[in-house]
Amino acid sequence: MAAPGFDPQAMRAFGALIARMMRGEALTREASRDAYRQIYRHEQPELQQGAFIAAHKAKGETVDELVGLTEAHCEEWTRCFARTVKADRPHVGIVGVGMDSLKTFNISSTSAVVAAACGVPVHKVGAPGMTSITGCADAFMLWGVDGQGPLDKQISAVEQVGLGFTTPVTPHLKHMGIGRVLSQLRIPTSMHLAGPLDQHSGERHKIVGVPRPDYVDLIGQVLAGLDFYERALVPCGGVDALPGRYIDEFSSLGPTEIAELKPDGSVERYTLRPEDVGLAVGDPKAVESADTREANARLGALIIAGRGNDAQTDLCAYNAAAALVVLGEEPDWKPAIERSREAMKSGAALAKLRALIEHQNRDPAAGLATLDALLA
């Protein structure tokens, strides 16, 4: 007997896709896009949805499957974010897949603020932590940034302040399939890979950190296949002192494996060591996560305010510099890193975070008070 309210023929066809993946067979781009569209639109019973998601992750994703999934994700996202950033200069998306094996302060969140303070418009999108103490959404919220307000304010923040923050975990997105599905998942899925690849606000430049070296080439090829992006960087950072441990960012702790999407559509693969960009190799203990969400958010706020230790400052400056490099603002890494370091030291980064709160928050005074209390 078919589940009430669902088409039996569509259920059989969907079940056949699950069976194919259980046999290790790959799906086409179109089949992946259509299947995830059905999941996001709740056109299959939840048991079928869960079986598909689990089978896909267990099989392992192909480039075509992730391209199709990301296209379905984009369709859902634009149902709410119908307006993209309109500005005189291009902006960049800085995202991380998460699920990395070395737990640190919130590197991509802090570096997004610092990059914006260097004059690079940034739209930062991120969710609460799934495998870490503090995710991007947790950090921005604890810094006093309001991620639950009008979506248009988050876009206009990029246009007018040069920095906007969005989390998919917001009441404005609850009616969407993305929010419904992800709110029920407590395991890594293919959708956690595709979400960061989305073109969230019309950006054509992207930094997507990945948690394992074997994802670097895969995600680089997916970005090339999407036809959204003009240029992108896909880093996975290693740790000299802890072989086999990684961060989903550029690493001043060891080598960073990188896939770079070029304007001609080609993808170049290379490795950068800290010494190549003028940095000393850092101690992983000096950048590790604190034990609580609040303490970890405070670490990030102090780094933004220019009060981090040398290893924290280097790691944040390196990742902020990546935004300058991918946009062509500073073609060379060393001056880009110094420019990022100066944004923290001068107070420009903290001022940028305050400006975001003043523009995006429904109650700016409360947000600023939250930030001040965290820094006190």
The structural domains of the chain, ordered by start, are 8-80 (1.20.970.10), 92-372 (3.40.1030.10)
Q: Which residues contact 293 (CB under 8 A, 6 or more apart)?
A: 129, 133, 134, 138, 142
Q: How far apart are CA 200 and CA 124, in angstroms?
A: 9
pLDDT of amino acid 128: 73
pLDDT of amino acid 130: 59
Stated as kind and residue range, the H or E segment containing 270 is strand 267-272
- For residues 143 and 301, the answer to whether their CB atoms sit within 8 Å is yes
**pLDDT over 90, % of the chain:** 80
pLDDT of amino acid 1: 46
Q: Which residues contact 26 (CB under 8 A, 6 or more apart)?
A: 59, 62, 64, 65
Q: Is the dihedral of CA 91, 70, 105, 170 positive or negative?
A: positive
Written as six digits, the tokens of 340 are: 């990022």
Provide the whole-model pTM: 0.94
**Cα angle: 302, vertex 257, 270; to 5 degrees:** 130
pLDDT of amino acid 175: 62
Written as six digits, the tokens of 276 are: 């190549």
Ranges in the chain, pLDDT < 70: 1-3, 129-133, 172-177, 179, 182-183
**Residue 37 phi, psi (nearest 5):** -65, -40
Number of other CB atoms surrounding residue 74 within 10 Å:
19
Place of tokens 């974010």: 81
Written as six digits, the tokens of 362 are: 């429904």
- For residues 135 and 98, the answer to whether their CB atoms sit within 8 Å is yes
For 350, what's the count of Cα atoms within 13 Å in the CB-facing half-sphere?
19
Burial of 292 (0-12, 13-18, 19+ CB in 10 A): exposed
